[in-house]
Amino acid sequence: MLHTLTENVVIYGTRGFGREVHQLIKDLAANGTAIACVGFLVDHEFHECCEVHGLPVLGDAGWLANGSDVSVLIAIGATAPRRRIVQRISNEFGSKFAQLKHPRAWVGDGVQVGAGTIVCAGALVTTDISIGSHVQVHVGSTIGHDTVIGDYVTIAPGTNVSGRVKIGEGVFIGAGAVILPDLQIGSWSTIGAGAAVTRDIPDNVTTVGVPARIIAQHACGWHLENN
């Protein structure tokens, strides 16, 4: 009789999305995937509780130094802190990162998904799409054909990304935003909730409105941590 090894996962982040990721793991397990969550990690200064959903808050990233055979998921929506945490864990602990696709997400053929990426329930990812590492595709969002998404991107709930869009590293796309076909979104830019993007967006800007307009420009985005 063959025995499938269970992938044990620790979630970095204890707030709303961390709890949603825990639910995603439970849904995968109920659907027959050999996966289990062993607990949560959090930055030391945000350690507010001892347990979440009945599982222990184990500490900060330093807990990984104990050599436990676990995969890690970073459940923090802000893109710059996510990059910082991934780099620390990779450099100091050499940990591996899980990859999750909810059983009720629809992911078509020819879709490449990087390590640490999370595709939530109700997401529709059509075909011939490249999604980088540590990307969050939240509930009810859609991604059209031939789109390329860089690392550390957040696609918030209800976002519609059309076909042949290129999204740079570290972009945050707010809930309900719409991006029309054949556009490029520059790295570390923010697209406000409900915005309609009708033209290319440069690096390191914030855009809002219908149609989306630039309201702020900032330094290289991954230096601006707003955790």
Of residues 95 and 54, more confidently modeled: 54
Contact between 132 and 112 (Cβ < 8 Å): no
Q: What CA–CA distance (Å, rounded) separates 217 from 186?
A: 12
Looking up tokens 């809002």 gives 208
Identify the bridge partners of residue 191 per DSSP, sorted by sequence position: 173, 207
93 vs 138, more confident: 138
Q: How confident is the model at residue 224 (pLDDT cuts 50, 70, 90)?
A: very low
Active site residue 102: no
Structural domain 7-98, CATH architecture: 3-Layer(aba) Sandwich (3.40)
Q: Which of the four pLDDT bands, split at 50, 70 and 90, describes residue 221?
A: low
Residues facing 40 on adjacent strands? 11, 57
| CA dihedral sign of residues 202, 166, 137, 67 | negative
Q: Which pair of structure tokens corresponds to residue 49?
A: 């509780």
For the chain, where do the domains classified as CATH 2.160.10.10 start and end? 101-223
pLDDT (average), residues 64-75: 89
Q: Which of 47, 145, 218, 223 is catalytic?
A: 145
Query: In this predicted structure, what is the pLDDT of residue 1?
Result: 40
Type and span of the H or E element at 38:
strand 35-41
How sure is the predictor about 4, in pLDDT bands with cuts at 50, 70 and 90? Answer: low
Sign of CA dihedral 207, 208, 214, 217: negative
pLDDT at 197 over 70: yes
Classified as helix, coil or strand, 76 is coil
What's the pTM? 0.92
pLDDT band at 48 (very low <50, low <70, confident <90, very high): low
The answer to whether residue 203 scores a pLDDT higher than 90 is: yes
Lowest mean pLDDT among 1-10, 127-136, 143-152: 1-10
Share of the chain above pLDDT 90, in %: 82
Q: Stretch 55-63: mean pLDDT, rounded?
A: 91
- Angstrom distance (rounded) from CA 94 to CA 33: 25
- β-bridge partners, 123: none
Could you tell me which of 80, 148, 173, 76 has the C-alpha nearest to residue 118?
Answer: 76
What is the fold of 101-223? UDP N-Acetylglucosamine Acyltransferase; domain 1 (2.160.10)
SS (H, E, C) 39-75: EEECCHHHCCCCEECCEEEEECHHHHHHCCCCEEEEC
CATH 3.40.50.20 boundaries in the chain? 7-98
The predicted structure's pLDDT at residue 50 = 82
